[in-house]
């Protein structure tokens, strides 16, 4: 590509063909004001503020849409340019209210900034009457279209970035404005309140609600969203130790200026009045606030007593998929070197252990095999067992962009009609829990029709013979019998997937939360390896539910694996850590999360230390889990809130929130990103890392770290995946070097199709019924899952005033004909009963579910759906089945 040289303000500069004048100017450090331009959006040249003059012809052109031409002589500040620019600003201001003094956009208003830069004060034109404010009752976004300058940024962001389509221009001329369908309030439209339009709006036309007139914040802290596993970058705006606003990080390669409703508005749980402010000790059944020293001494002495009396195996630690890498690293070291047990696990056991094991065995790497950008560039994307709209919104945006902007074809596999169904080329609706038969069926078509990448299979994989033998049975007809997906559709999906040059697979808890989860993950890996779409091109994208599910596992908060997935039973690995820590370490695998509960019930585990997890709600069969936890000799829970689990504790330690501490999160792609402190810890709460270190001290085994940077240095040394990140840059005050965000992803990737062990291994897997089918009067299949406005067990999101106002309580989604059969009307309170328990929620009619299937969200503490589930584990991943069970319904 030949460079194009132009003269810009008297200086020669070069750009590439297709580059606009604006892009080159910004690259060359020349500032041109704009109102409708955004690097993430295609330019439209609407506002005309970016006019520049070509001195050869004297012509004015909008620099954002004018490509470079050789020999251009551009002046960005010529008298003519300045005169026109002022005129345009004045015209815009003539239809803009004079409310700058009381507008919450304050100094962030781009219109005001440009006007003051250009010295435009009084307009002198006759004012044009403005459009009225639209009253909205939603708790998130307020539209004051009198301040709208028709730059169309909100509309373009809505269409081209988040691909939601809630708004577009309505009407013509003076009357035109951005509006929803039928000009309804946002809450009655398709709007998801992702907040992307609010962040991109150059004026005060779109603003956060309930934050009116908080003014401009002097402090902006770039950190990572604490909700799902996407790892979106957010900028927290802070004033007087309060977070007043969260805006998407525009630079982030993950979210690229977008967010979801949780990221934009959910942070307010940080300021919830329910936050714990000091350590609590249970005295005669009631909690009493006690000082930290006393609390730590009590915990240390009790844990010490249990270890001496019953041995280290009587203790168990549950780490958190919501805590930072450093915290999980410290916690697993605490468990192993201070308590002397491998009984450590983390909350991601409940949803992603199948990925760690399944992908680990098949491709040699326990996680997503490519980055999000590669997903968006795929020709065919298969989304299976994942409602991206609610569980990984940013991945959903990427898939929708791929379909709409790049013409990618989406194969959606989901019994539920999710939002993505309307974007799908092919939507397969297997019976609940039969996905694996479908995947095997697709693999068989690929093998029998010779659609596989033979070179890849021959050169890079092994065990193909065994696979093809097992696949023989999975004829399209056989698969149709199991899944109810027609044989023709199975073949079509297989051909579509195999014939694409680049194909990717995205999967979530619909795959991993069945007892056959690990096998299903392996089946997906087989499919990807057959066509070679595993990293060099395409990839497998394993979603994470929590902000650091991947990192907690990477850090070895696992009973059988040390940091970096080094096996505890491997002498070389355990010795490496024992030498580094200068202590003996236990070398037999410990208990996984659910096994801990089983051992508590058997009286073998006497004391537990639970950090940032809420098993009383998140584990199946809550009744039994709560009984078990209550029966412990000693339970210490470390959390931000008095959760259902914390209520059972002997001692509760108050933890700081994500906004009150430093560290790193690893997102589902494996990207290690900085979490930065924005405000001081609430009350006497402390960062989890600090608590673990103090506790180790109190137990008489201090861990030799004086800063988190030293922890990261050690991680870097001992965890191969994290080499090359996180050392200190003495020039900056940051504890980590600035480029941490540019983590060399290649280390974690299967770039060029190279498997870590040289070969990918096919694992022939057989379909087995998930065993949760309706029977004995339990005639409905219950599906559970996350919803957009909440996450996890709802500890955080239910305490976010705005999220809980908008989505206050659980519900039962049911098809109308099913409801009629049971005599249930819309809005009726319905009792959902399984052999193990019952919950009550209001019925909500839907046409998205197959007959006989109902859906309930599992993120409402007041409606603990998981208590309907029995404890049944995936034998390999030890993940409990939490996706589906048989229930019956009663009207209350």
Partner 1 sequence: MDKHQETAEPDLKRIEEIVSRYRDQKWPLISLLQEVQEELGYIPPEAIRPIARGTGLFPAQVQGVISFYEQFHTTPRGKNIVKVCRGTACHVRGGRTILKIVKQNLGVEEGGTTPDMNFTLETVPCLGTCFLAPSMMVNKDYFGKLAPPKLKSILQQYGSPGE
The smaller minimum CB distance to partner 1, of residues 154 and 562, is found at 154
- What is the rounded distance in angstroms from the CA atom of residue 842 to the CA atom of residue 330? 43
Closest CA to 199 of 191, 187, 207, 209: 207
How far apart are CB 416 and partner 1 at their closest, in Å? Answer: 19
Interface with partner 1 includes 97 (CB under 8 A)? Answer: no
Q: How many CB atoms lie within 10 A of CB 539?
A: 27
Helix axes 517-531, 435-448, angle to 10 degrees: 20
Could you tell me which stretch among 168-176, 209-217, 370-378, 772-780 binds partner 1 (CB under 8 A)?
A: 168-176
Helix or strand or coil: residue 276? coil
Position among 63, 66, 180, 548 found at the interface with partner 1 (CB under 8 A): 180
Site string for partner 1, 621-650 (x = CB under 8 A): ------------------------------
How far apart are CB 624 and partner 1 at their closest, in Å? Answer: 47
Interface with partner 1 includes 828 (CB under 8 A)? Answer: no
How far apart are CB 506 and partner 1 at their closest, in Å? Answer: 22
How far apart are CB 850 and partner 1 at their closest, in Å? Answer: 21
DSSP structural state of residue 675: E
- What is the rounded distance in angstroms from the CA atom of residue 546 to the CA atom of residue 252? 19
Which residues inside 126-165 make contact with partner 1, applying CB under 8 A?
159, 164-165
The smaller minimum CB distance to partner 1, of residues 422 and 575, is found at 422
- What is the rounded distance in angstroms from the CA atom of residue 474 to the CA atom of residue 873? 26
How far apart are CB 512 and partner 1 at their closest, in Å? Answer: 32
How far apart are CB 415 and partner 1 at their closest, in Å? Answer: 21
Position among 31, 98, 117, 171 found at the interface with partner 1 (CB under 8 A): 171
- What is the rounded distance in angstroms from the CA atom of residue 503 to the CA atom of residue 66? 35
How far apart are CB 835 and partner 1 at their closest, in Å? Answer: 42
Position among 55, 136, 168, 870 found at the interface with partner 1 (CB under 8 A): 168
How far apart are CB 382 and partner 1 at their closest, in Å? Answer: 20
How far apart are CB 162 and partner 1 at their closest, in Å? Answer: 12
Which residues inside 186-215 make contact with partner 1, applying CB under 8 A?
189-190
Element (H, E) at 551: helix 549-554
The smaller minimum CB distance to partner 1, of residues 164 and 621, is found at 164
Interface with partner 1 includes 167 (CB under 8 A)? Answer: yes
Closest CA to 225 of 194, 198, 191: 194
DSSP structural state of residue 558: S
- What is the rounded distance in angstroms from the CA atom of residue 336 to the CA atom of residue 344? 8
Interface with partner 1 includes 892 (CB under 8 A)? Answer: no
How far apart are CB 170 and partner 1 at their closest, in Å? Answer: 5
How far apart are CB 425 and partner 1 at their closest, in Å? Answer: 12
Which residues inside 295-314 make contact with partner 1, applying CB under 8 A?
none
The smaller minimum CB distance to partner 1, of residues 297 and 421, is found at 421
The smaller minimum CB distance to partner 1, of residues 189 and 242, is found at 189
What the block records as the tokens of 14 is 């070069």
The smaller minimum CB distance to partner 1, of residues 164 and 592, is found at 164
How far apart are CB 422 and partner 1 at their closest, in Å? Answer: 7
Could you tell me which stretch among 71-79, 177-185, 634-642, 752-760 binds partner 1 (CB under 8 A)?
A: 177-185
Cβ neighbors of 797 (< 8 A, separation 6 or more) are 227, 262, 266, 269, 789, 790, 791, 803, 804, 859
- Half-sphere exposure (CA, 13 Å, Cβ side) for 735? 18
Site string for partner 1, 2-31 (x = CB under 8 A): ------------------------------
Q: How many CB atoms lie within 10 A of CB 458?
A: 11
Position among 42, 94, 128, 181 found at the interface with partner 1 (CB under 8 A): 181
Interface with partner 1 includes 170 (CB under 8 A)? Answer: yes
The smaller minimum CB distance to partner 1, of residues 167 and 636, is found at 167
Q: What are phi and psi of 289, to 5 degrees?
A: -70, 135
Position among 166, 238, 306, 635 found at the interface with partner 1 (CB under 8 A): 166
662-676 residues labelled b (16+ CB within 10 A) or e (exposed): bbbbbbbbbbbbbbb
Given the DSSP bridges, would you call strands 59-62 and 51-54 parallel, antiparallel or unpaired?
antiparallel
Query: What HEC string does 19-87 produce?
Result: CEHHHHHHHCCCCCCCCCCCCCCCCCCCCCCCEEEECCCCEEEECCCCECCCCCEEECCCHHHHHHHHH
What the block records as the tokens of 828 is 């009726």
Element (H, E) at 261: helix 261-265
CB 183 within 8 A of CB 143: no
Size of the site for partner 1 (CB under 8 A): 18
Could you tell me which stretch among 170-178, 380-388, 534-542, 561-569 binds partner 1 (CB under 8 A)?
A: 170-178
Helix or strand or coil: residue 389? helix
The smaller minimum CB distance to partner 1, of residues 191 and 524, is found at 191
Position among 188, 301, 309, 422 found at the interface with partner 1 (CB under 8 A): 422
- The contact set with partner 1 (CB under 8 A) reads 159, 164-172, 176, 179-182, 189-190, 422
């Amino acid at each position: 590509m030949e460079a194009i040289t132009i003269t810009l303000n008297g200086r020669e500069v070069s750009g590439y063909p297709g580059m606009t004048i604006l892009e080159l100017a910004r690259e060359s450090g020349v500032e041109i004001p704009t109102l409708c331009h955004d690097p993430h959006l295609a330019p439209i040249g609407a506002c005309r503020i970016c006019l520049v003059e070509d001195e050869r012809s004297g012509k004015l052109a909008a620099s954002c849409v004018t490509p470079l031409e050789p020999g251009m002589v551009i002046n960005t500040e010529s008298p003519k340019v300045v005169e026109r620019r002022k005129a345009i600003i004045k015209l815009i201001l003539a239809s803009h209210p004079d409310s700058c003094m009381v507008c919450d956009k304050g100094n962030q208003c781009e219109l005001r900034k440009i006007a003051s830069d250009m010295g435009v004060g009084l307009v002198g034109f006759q004012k044009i009457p403005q459009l009225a404010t639209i009253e909205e009752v939603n708790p998130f976004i307020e539209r004051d279209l009198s301040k709208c300058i028709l730059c169309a940024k909100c509309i373009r962001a809505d269409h081209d970035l988040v691909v939601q389509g809630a708004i577009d221009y309505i009407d013509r001329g003076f009357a035109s404005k951005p509006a929803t369908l039928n000009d309804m309030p946002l809450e009655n439209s398709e709007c998801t309140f992702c907040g992307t339009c609010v962040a991109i709006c150059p004026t005060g036309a779109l603003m956060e609600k309930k934050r009116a007139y908080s003014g401009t914040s002097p402090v902006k802290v770039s950190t990572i969203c604490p909700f799902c596993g996407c790892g979106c970058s957010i900028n927290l705006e802070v004033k007087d130790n309060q977070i007043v606003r969260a805006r998407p990080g525009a630079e982030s390669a993950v979210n690229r200026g977008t967010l979801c409703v949780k990221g934009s508005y959910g942070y307010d749980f940080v300021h919830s009045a329910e936050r714990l402010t000091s350590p609590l000790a249970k005295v005669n059944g009631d909690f009493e606030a006690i000082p930290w020293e006393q609390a730590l001494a009590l915990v240390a002495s009790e844990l010490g007593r249990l270890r001496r009396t019953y041995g280290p195996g009587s203790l168990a630690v549950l780490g958190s998929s919501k805590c930072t890498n450093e915290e999980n690293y410290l916690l697993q070291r605490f468990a192993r070197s201070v308590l002397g047990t491998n009984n450590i696990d983390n909350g991601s056991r409940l949803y992603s252990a199948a990925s760690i094991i399944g992908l680990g065995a098949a491709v040699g790497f326990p996680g997503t095999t490519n980055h999000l950008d590669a997903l968006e560039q795929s020709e065919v994307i298969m989304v299976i067992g994942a409602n991206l709209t609610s569980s990984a919104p940013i991945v959903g945006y990427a898939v929708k962009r791929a379909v709409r902007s790049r013409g990618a074809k989406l194969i959606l596999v989901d019994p539920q009609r999710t939002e993505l169904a309307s974007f799908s080329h092919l939507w397969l609706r297997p019976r609940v829990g039969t996905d694996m038969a479908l995947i095997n069926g697709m693999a068989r078509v690929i093998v029998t029709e010779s659609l596989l990448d033979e070179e890849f299979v021959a050169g890079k994989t092994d065990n193909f013979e065994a696979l093809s033998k097992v696949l023989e049975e999975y004829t399209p007809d056989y698969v149709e019998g199991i899944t109810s997906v027609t044989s023709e559709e199975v073949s079509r999906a297989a051909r579509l997937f195999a014939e694409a040059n680049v194909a990717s697979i995205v999967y979530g808890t619909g795959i991993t939360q069945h007892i056959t989860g690990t096998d299903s993950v392996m089946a997906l890996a087989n499919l990807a390896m057959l066509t070679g779409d595993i990293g060099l091109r395409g990839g497998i994208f394993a979603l994470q539910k929590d902000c650091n599910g991947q990192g907690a596992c990477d850090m070895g908060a696992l009973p059988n694996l040390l940091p970096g997935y080094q096996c505890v039973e491997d002498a070389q690995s355990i010795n490496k850590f024992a030498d580094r820590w200068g202590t003996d370490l236990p070398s037999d695998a410990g208990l996984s999360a659910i096994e801990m509960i089983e051992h508590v019930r058997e009286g073998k585990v006497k004391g537990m230390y639970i950090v940032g997890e809420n098993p009383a709600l998140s584990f199946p069969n809550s009744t039994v889990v709560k009984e078990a936890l209550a029966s412990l000799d000693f339970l210490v829970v470390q959390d931000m809130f008095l959760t259902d689990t914390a209520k059972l504790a002997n001692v509760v330690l108050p933890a700081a929130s994500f906004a009150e501490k430093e560290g790193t999160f690893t997102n589902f792609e494996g990207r290690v990103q900085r979490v930065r402190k924005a405000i001081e810890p609430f009350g006497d709460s402390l960062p989890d890392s600090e608590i673990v270190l103090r506790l180790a001290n109190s137990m008489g085994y201090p861990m030799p770290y004086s800063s988190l940077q030293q922890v990261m240095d050690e991680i870097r040394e001992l965890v191969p995946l994290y080499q090359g990140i996180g050392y200190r840059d003495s020039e900056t005050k940051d504890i980590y070097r600035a480029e941490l965000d540019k983590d060399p992803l290649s280390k974690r990737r299967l770039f060029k199709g190279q498997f870590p062990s040289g070969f990918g291994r096919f694992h022939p897997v057989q379909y087995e019924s998930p065993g949760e089918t309706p029977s004995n009067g339990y005639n409905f299949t219950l599906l559970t899952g996350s919803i957009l406005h909440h996450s996890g067990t709802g500890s955080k999101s239910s305490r976010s005033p705005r999220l809980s106002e908008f989505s206050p309580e659980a519900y039962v989604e049911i098809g109308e004909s099913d409801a009629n059969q049971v005599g249930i009307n819309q809005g009726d309170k319905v009792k959902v009963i399984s052999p193990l328990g019952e919950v009550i929620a209001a019925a909500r009619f839907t046409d998205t579910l197959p007959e006989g299937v109902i859906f309930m969200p599992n993120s409402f503490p007041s409606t603990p759906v998981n208590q309907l589930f029995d404890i049944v584990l995936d034998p390999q991943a030890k993940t409990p089945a939490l996706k589906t069970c048989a229930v019956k319904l009663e009207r209350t």
